Amino acid sequence: MKKLAIAVTGALALAGIGAGISSAVNPDITIQASMSPTKHGTKKKPKVTKLVVKLATTPRSDEPAFAASDTIVHLGKELVFNGKALKTCSAAQVQSDDTKCPKGSRVGQGKAAGTALGLTENLTVTAYNGPGGNKLELLVDGQTPLQIHSVIEGILSKDSAPYGKKLSVHVPDGLQQPAPGAYATLVQFDTTINAVRGKGRAPYVGIASCKTKNVAFGVDYKYTDGTTKSTKTTSKCT
């Protein structure tokens, strides 16, 4: 914390020297997605799969500090989601003590990294099925340079072709700006949703069809300076 506070003080001093100079952010962004196994089923009997989504952001050296305030991940129409078939755990319970979440509500894991003022925070990610069958609770934990324990909630809703669903995420203010004057850029956010089943052996994530042999994925970002940026990719299905 002391190290970050010193860095914040120095950064704010430099910001004062360059007051009035600003530019829109335009980082390099990528999305990677994969499924395993890749074999599809039918709408009535989708095949269970493990879904991996990896997001990366590389800021340019000449742009001001920024954070992503909102992220939308687009998921191909070939995929089906059965959150209502699994046990759930609320964001409040995940935040207070995720060890008390019901068995079967944990659906995945991952890792992330954020940078602020030249310092990097490595984070672990634990994913839980949230209430209502349409929420994903992502618990992020970090130890240094700051103690971070925060839940990012994603809400699943309908999307337009070539996507079927989208996961809309608002990044908590404390993660956007973990210290006064210090915007944190999430340069990496990798999430693996395990190949798990719920009631009636319904897959949490399943592949229902595969007409084009490709499943579309995309991501939209809204940044703290008001700018937006998007990119997309595909993953094979069989």
Name the helix (H) or strand (E) containing 211.
none
Tell me the HSE value of 46 on the side-chain side, using a 13 A CA sphere. Answer: 24
Instruction: Please write the tens of the pLDDT for every residue from 160-172.
Output: 999 999 999 999 9
pLDDT mean across residues, the chain: 91
Instruction: Please write the tens of the pLDDT for every residue from 130-178.
Output: 999 999 999 999 999 999 999 999 999 999 999 999 999 999 999 999 8
Q: Is the dihedral of CA 94, 97, 100, 103 positive or negative?
A: positive
Looking at residue 167, its pLDDT comes to 98
Higher pLDDT, 65 or 12: 65
pLDDT band at 180 (very low <50, low <70, confident <90, very high): confident
pLDDT(1) > 80? no
Residue 16: burial class (beta carbons within 10 Å; 0-12, 13-18, 19+):
exposed
